[in-house]
Amino acid sequence: MRRVLGLVSAALLAGLCQCTLLFDLSALDPTRDGDSGDDDVAELTTPAPGDDGGIDAFVDETTDDEAEAAVTYPESSLDAADSSTSDVDASDGAPEVGGPPEASRDAAADVARDAPIDTGPPFDAAACASVLLSPSATVVASSTRTTNYANQAIDKQFTTRWESTQQVDEPNGTTLPPQWIYLDLGARVSITRVRIDWQAACAQAYQLQVSDDASTWVTLTNGAVINGASNGSLAAPTDWSTDVDTTGLSGVGRYLRVYGTQRCLPMYGYSIWEMQVYGHGVSTCTVGM
């Protein structure tokens, strides 16, 4: 009996020990009972103080936000790396590569503002205002009659005039040839305007011409006198109200000529009370301004 009881006791004790051992082993198994075992793994993989730890050390030294950005937005990591090698020296005036588009536009605007202003060679046309020119007192005409000399067309006196020969002065009744008068402006100028106060013996058709040598002439425009029934002022005028004012001219020369080709009154020649010429120099101004 004692032997039998001893065997039963031994069997019970062995069974109890086996259950205890199984329970302790299950506590160490991370895959059982839904336990992830992260804490235990962390304890096993955490490097000791002073250990560089390989890849785990890199993770430890990176903040959570930086690590998340590197994983979620890989492009931003590449841009950050590129920016360290693509910066341009600020003294070159160029924007940094990878910078915001606003910075690029601002830099381009600065370059445009710093660019030299294109004034055009070789002067500023804005300074070319036309003024009344002062011709030489020596005036040349194709002919004169009595005491009505050529220079009296510019003597600033409305009571005096230049007068060319008349039809009656032509020998044997031949046709009166074209008559002319020219002014010496003293130097090459740009002519923009001509005013002529004609007497009744005016030009129904004429040309305004310029020349550098008073020999070769270039026509600026064709003119005509149409001023009431008399086509001119028979009596001496008192102002410029009856003049023929020709504007918008564009020509350069030292001499200006009025070349009459058709008379208002066939029996007479040509006669001018006063003339004025406007323009400006050509050394500092654009031609024709």
Verify that 20 and 147 share a domain, yes or no.
no
Verify that 139 and 274 share a domain, yes or no.
yes
Verify that 51 and 105 share a domain, yes or no.
yes
Verify that 77 and 211 share a domain, yes or no.
no
Give the separation between CA 98 and CA 172, rounded to whole angstroms.
Answer: 96
CATH number at residue 163: 2.60.120.260
DSSP alpha helix (H) spans, 73-123? 74-86, 101-114
Could you list the pLDDT tens digit for every one of the 289 residues in the chain?
555 556 556 555 555 545 444 444 444 454 444 444 444 434 444 444 444 444 444 444 444 554 444 444 444 444 444 544 444 444 444 444 454 555 555 554 444 444 344 433 444 444 578 899 999 999 999 999 999 999 999 999 999 999 999 988 988 878 889 999 999 999 999 999 999 999 999 998 999 999 999 999 999 999 888 654 456 788 899 999 889 999 999 999 999 999 999 999 888 999 999 999 999 988 666 544 4
Domain boundary residue, one of 58, 82, 113 = 113
Query: Quick check: 203 and 222 in contact, CB under 8 A?
Result: no
Domain boundary residue, one of 113, 144, 169 = 113
Verify that 92 and 182 share a domain, yes or no.
no
Instruction: Output the pLDDT for position 10.
Output: 58
Query: Quick check: 170 and 247 in contact, CB under 8 A?
Result: no
In three-state secondary structure terms, 121 is coil
**Residue 259 domain-assigned?**
yes
Verify that 109 and 19 share a domain, yes or no.
yes
Verify that 108 and 143 share a domain, yes or no.
no
Q: Which residues, including other chains, have CB under 8 Å from residue 32's CB and lie 6 or more apart? A: 26
**Residue 240 domain-assigned?**
yes
159 lies in which domain range?
A: 131-281
Query: Quick check: 153 and 139 in contact, CB under 8 A?
Result: yes
Verify that 137 and 277 share a domain, yes or no.
yes
Query: Quick check: 253 and 244 in contact, CB under 8 A?
Result: no
Whole-structure pTM over 0.95, yes or no? no
As a dihedral over the C-alpha atoms of residue 243, residue 246, residue 252, residue 258, rounded to 10 degrees, the angle is -50
H or E element, residue 26: helix 2-28
Give the separation between CA 233 and CA 211, rounded to whole angstroms.
Answer: 29
**Residue 119 domain-assigned?**
no
**Residue 215 domain-assigned?**
yes
Give the separation between CA 28 and CA 277, rounded to whole angstroms.
Answer: 118
Verify that 53 and 177 share a domain, yes or no.
no
Cα of 142 vs its chain's centroid, Å: 51
Instruction: Output the pLDDT for position 171.
Output: 81
Structural domains in the chain (count):
2
